[in-house]
């Protein structure tokens, strides 16, 4: 089963340099994933449902997209477990003046089907037919790996971002930022909870503000590490999206983004962590060339620990890219 949507990029989709916001692309990716997974989960007779985003695997922004180009987002279901759907999404940009096309993004998303009658009820997923047995085995390995990572991330979710008075430049406190958003009907699905794409777009906006404050140049999203959605956000909640820098290499910045939901209309429920992710940004000159990044100065023991953890993720991904780049014997 496959699905494609297309849209021309408008000025309000882009930053001051004309590059389309990473959050805009993430929102389109999620829309395509939600449509194809909801269609599949309702392909058999039974209780009707809507597919809710549970996780987005690491997503690399391979090439910038500009105003006036057309984004072609194609989605395909590659694996199903009893209660989840894996969707692979590719994004191509098209210059409609020349016809030139290029791959800009590849992403993997996981969805779960929630009953229209009861938002807390997860339904079973109709199985897909695989052309090769190896496809099912490979998919099962990916499923188990992401399930384990989601559990590990949940244990790290006690952190909160606290404001600091008169912070010094290049410190974590200097660039950390927060955005507060009241969830309205236009943000929500049929269930009355927030679209995953809306949350990702807000997360990218905050991460972009942190990066811009730190280096004071034009910045673009280079990649997004796995985004985990820990709990649903209902209509009427006030959400706080907080971002802080965790690590800098010579030419990149890692920013941790946390989403907390406060159900202000329901006094029986306390504030909770709804989503978390790591975004990587790069600094660009006015000509679009990569620039060196001011080095982050961690001050507290927690900041130093997060810096070393970020360095580990950076070196691991760097080694992985170099391994893929090596010629095959």
Going 134 to 138 to 143 to 148, the CA torsion angle's sign is: positive
Question: How far is the CA of 230 from the CAs of 99, 157, 326, in angstroms?
Answer: 41, 10, 37
Catalytic one of 204, 218, 225, 228: 204
Q: CB under 8 Å to 295, separation ≥6 — which residues?
A: 170, 248
Cα(116)–Cα(180) distance, integer angstroms: 29
Active site residue 19: no
Active site residue 90: no
Question: 277, 149 in Cβ contact below 8 A?
Answer: no
Q: Is 166 left (phi over 0), alpha (psi -120 to 50) or beta?
A: left
Distance, CA of 201 to chain centre: 8
Question: 200, 194 in Cβ contact below 8 A?
Answer: no
Catalytic one of 15, 90, 157, 170: 15
Question: How far is the CA of 113 from the CAs of 23, 34, 55, 86, 312, in angstroms?
Answer: 24, 10, 13, 12, 35
Cα(316)–Cα(226) distance, integer angstroms: 14
Cα(122)–Cα(52) distance, integer angstroms: 10
Which residues are part of the catalytic machinery?
Answer: 15, 204
């Amino acid at each position: 089963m496959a699905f494609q949507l297309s849209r021309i990029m408008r000025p309000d989709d882009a930053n001051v340099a004309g590059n389309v916001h990473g959050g805009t692309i993430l929102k389109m990716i999620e829309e395509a994933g939600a449509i194809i997974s909801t269609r599949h989960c309702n392909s058999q007779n039974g209780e009707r449902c809507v597919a809710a985003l549970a996780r987005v695997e690491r997503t690399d922004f391979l090439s910038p997209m500009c105003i006036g180009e057309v984004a072609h987002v194609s989605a395909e279901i590659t694996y199903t477990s009893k209660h989840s759907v894996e969707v692979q999404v590719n994004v191509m940009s098209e210059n409609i003046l020349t016809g030139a096309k290029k791959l800009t993004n590849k992403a993997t998303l996981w969805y779960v089907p929630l009953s229209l009658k009861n938002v807390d009820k997860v339904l079973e997923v109709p199985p897909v037919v695989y052309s090769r047995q190896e496809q099912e085995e490979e998919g099962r390995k990916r499923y188990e790996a992401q399930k384990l990572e989601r559990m590990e991330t949940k244990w790290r979710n006690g952190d909160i971002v606290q404001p600091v008075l008169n912070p010094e430049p290049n410190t974590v406190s200097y660039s950390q930022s927060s955005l507060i958003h009241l969830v309205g009907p236009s943000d929500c699905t049929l269930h009355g909870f927030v679209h995953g794409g809306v949350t990702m777009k807000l997360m990218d906006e905050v991460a972009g503000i942190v990066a811009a404050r730190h280096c004071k140049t034009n910045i673009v999203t280079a990649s997004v590490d796995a985004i985990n959605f820990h709990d649903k956000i209902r209509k009427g909640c006030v959400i706080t999206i907080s971002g802080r820098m965790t690590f800098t290499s010579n030419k990149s910045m890692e920013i941790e983004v946390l989403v907390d939901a406060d159900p202000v209309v329901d006094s029986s429920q306390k504030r909770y962590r709804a989503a978390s992710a790591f975004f990587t940004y790069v600094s660009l000159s006015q000509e679009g060339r990569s620039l060196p990044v001011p080095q982050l100065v961690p001050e507290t023991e927690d900041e130093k620990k997060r810096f070393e953890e970020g360095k580990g993720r950076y070196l691991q991904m760097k080694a992985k890219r170099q391994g893929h780049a090596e010629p095959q014997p």
